[in-house]
Amino acid sequence: MARGKTQMKKIENVTSRQVTFSKRRNGLLKKAFELSVLCDAEVGLIVFSPRGKLCEFSRPCMGKLLERYEKNSRESGISNAAEEKDNQHSKREIANMEEKIRILESTQRKMLGENLASCSAGELSQLESQVERGLKRIRRRKNELLMDRIERLKRKCADLEGGSVLTSPVLQLGSTQCIDVETQLVMGLPNV
């Protein structure tokens, strides 16, 4: 005869409930005993009946198991506190990095000429001087690259001519005069 599936809900009949409790408690105690013997596990089981009667099983003694449980709970609490402290530190660090990113993105947009309506005259002057300094550095580096290229071309021409020095005005210009290079740096998005 096949057994029907038991529904997981409170048994309303008090007698049936007590019988079911007694059978299942005995099965639970048997499983706890088997687990302790077969696996050499330390097992503690505390069950209170619906009437409040205590039923327990332990291997080894319940006192030692409870002490060990409390000790592990305290250590786990300490470990959790340390993890929580690390988490708080990480959250603060993330918030600081997000703020720095926000400031850098805002500065970048201003350097590109966006969102300038919220800037004061002093901020705009400071921004202008930063752009001018950047432009000077760009021009200086561009001039260095051009002068290096001119020197390389001079050497290449000299090598091609078999060591004779060319007296071309273009080549002499690089060695005797300073070249002023105009650039057109456009700040902002390109006009479409």
What pLDDT score does 42 carry? 92
Task: Tell which CATH classification among 3.40.718.10, 3.40.50.1220, 3.40.50.2300, 3.40.1810.10 matches the domain 14-76.
Answer: 3.40.1810.10
pLDDT at residue 165 in the model? 47
Cα(160)–Cα(154) distance, integer angstroms: 10
Helices and strands (DSSP H and E) totals, the chain: 4, 2
Secondary structure (3-state) at 7: coil
Other C-beta atoms closer than 10 Å to the C-beta of 45 total: 19
* Tokens matching residue 108: 């970048």
| DSSP-derived secondary structure letter, 45 | E
Q: Please tell me the pTM assigned to this model.
A: 0.40
What pLDDT does residue 2 have? Answer: 62
Exposed (0-12), middle (13-18) or buried (19+): which is 76, by Cβ within 10 Å? exposed
pLDDT at site 191: 61
pLDDT in tens, 161-179: 875 544 455 445 445 555 6
Can the peptide bond before residue 60 be classed as cis, meaning omega within 30 degrees of 0?
Answer: yes
Question: What is the C-alpha to C-alpha distance for residues 173 and 153, in angstroms, rounded to an integer?
Answer: 13
Give Cα separations from 123 to 128, 129, 180 (angstroms). Answer: 8, 10, 30
Q: Given this model, what pLDDT does residue 180 score?
A: 66
Distance in angstroms (rounded) separating the CA atoms of residues 101 and 92: 14
**Per-10-residue mean pLDDT for the chain, 192 residues long?**
77 90 93 93 91 87 88 78 85 94 89 84 89 92 96 91 56 54 64 56
User: 117, 137 in Cβ contact below 8 A?
Assistant: no
